A and B are shown apart, each in its own frame.
Chain A
Amino acid sequence: MILLDDFFWRAVFAGIGVALVAGPLGCFIVWRRMSYLGDTMAHSALLGVAVGAFLDVNLILGVFAVAIAVALLLFLFQRQKQLANDAVLGTLSHASLAMGVLAISLMSWIQIDLMAYLFGDILAVDLYDLYWIYGGGFLIMLILFLLWRPLLALTFDNELALAEGVPVFKIELIFMLLIAAVIALSMKIIGILLVTSLLIIPVSAARRFSRSPEQMALGGSLIGVISVVIGLFTSMQFDTPSGPSIVIAAVLFFFAANIFALKKNQ
């Protein structure tokens, strides 16, 4: 396709693909108050980039693997009770970010544009990334679709779901893998430091207009897609980094939704 030869349209399609997945997945992150966990996994992505570059494998795979490792480490840490959860998250988050920056600066033989990875770069998306995003995105959506009901049940109450036969532990583990996958897929467009915003802000804006979990998920996807398109056009027009441009567009929706809701309640 000629359209996809153009770097800008590649970025737009990549962004749309990522935003579509971010809606339903982001809902669960918000409902389960896991945004800080998402952040921690995202911050480990730079280390994933370094690992991927070092092993000379696809960087998405590197990021995915390291994010999973961090998630597993968190799982282990949650079993101890001396340190509060947020202290563990904060430690892991910054440790992995620092390790990532150090590793990349030590690998002098590899040229990595740090800014591009931290804040997203529309020039960076190639055709392979598009295959990954749509292939991986489809898989994530499929798994999420199959797990939707049990995930919702354990989000409502863990204990109750467990007592009613939901395999809580297994589903929580798969959910972590899905978060890791989305982070790996959206890293190039949104940037490591801002990845979780695409998971959280659009669905939070959609909450104001939603009467059911599904409405909120679809609304989140829709707002995410529009934010991506607006953000990328501004990024193109004013030569700004793509991640922040998309995030600001999403934040505008968030404020608009809240102001609208306030007005309605008056």
Chain B
Amino acid sequence: MTALEAPGQTLNAAALLARRPWGLYVAVGFAVLLLVAAVAPHLLTSRDPSALDYPAALQAPSLTHWFGTDESGRDLYTRVVFGAAISLPIGLGAAVVGIVLALLLGSTAALAPRFIGAAVDRLLEVMFAFPALLLALLLITVSGPSAISEVFAVGLGTAPGYARMVRGQIKAAKGAAYVEAATALGHSRSRIVRVHILPNALRPLVAVFALSIGQSIVWASSLSFLGLGVAPPSPEWGALLDAGRSYITVTPWLLVIPGLVVVAVSIAATTIGRHLQSRLERGDRA
């Protein structure tokens, strides 16, 4: 913006500036920061996440220890940064497992011959009757608590909801006018599915995937918090919370700060997901 611009234009620019999706920028910035933390944690902290320093135990947040220290004097900020390398892959992995399962089940229910489709429909209803956390706990009972079972448990728990969505999207696309047109033009069924139905039905999944990463991180950290996932002394975010529980009356930040990080991740993922969603919807209309 230059000084030569007419006042009216400046006003427009200001209005445009105000309409910028600042929330989205913050969310993307935070996501980039997390990626850096996961890939190269030493860029964000010079400390060691498991360095013990008993004289400095249970300190409140300060300039030297931004997030305070835990019962062994480990720096909580450093542990949260290093935790990203554990929590993010678990969340990402669970989201992938959930979406892939949902794709398989949802598209089979919508596209397979009637009797198979109906069977998968019933299966989805059965899965839906189990709340996600309980489905996850059932799997963990069998496989025992670990990062891997956390990934599959959370993926399995979230899959039925997404599968329903995939099924609904494909069914809606099947009834669309362009599919009718393609059928009238004599295109083969496999071509119609490949070229028309799947791309249109699955485009919204990009946004769902972003939402699901945030969701999965929350779920996985809940399992660790219950002591049924990654266990302390790992700096995984849920495990940090679990470890901080005994000190809730003395040092609440040991619980509040890792929890806040999870909440921030979930909000960032939701913001990005919603933005993608509305962009895709606008794209559909054009």
A binds B: no
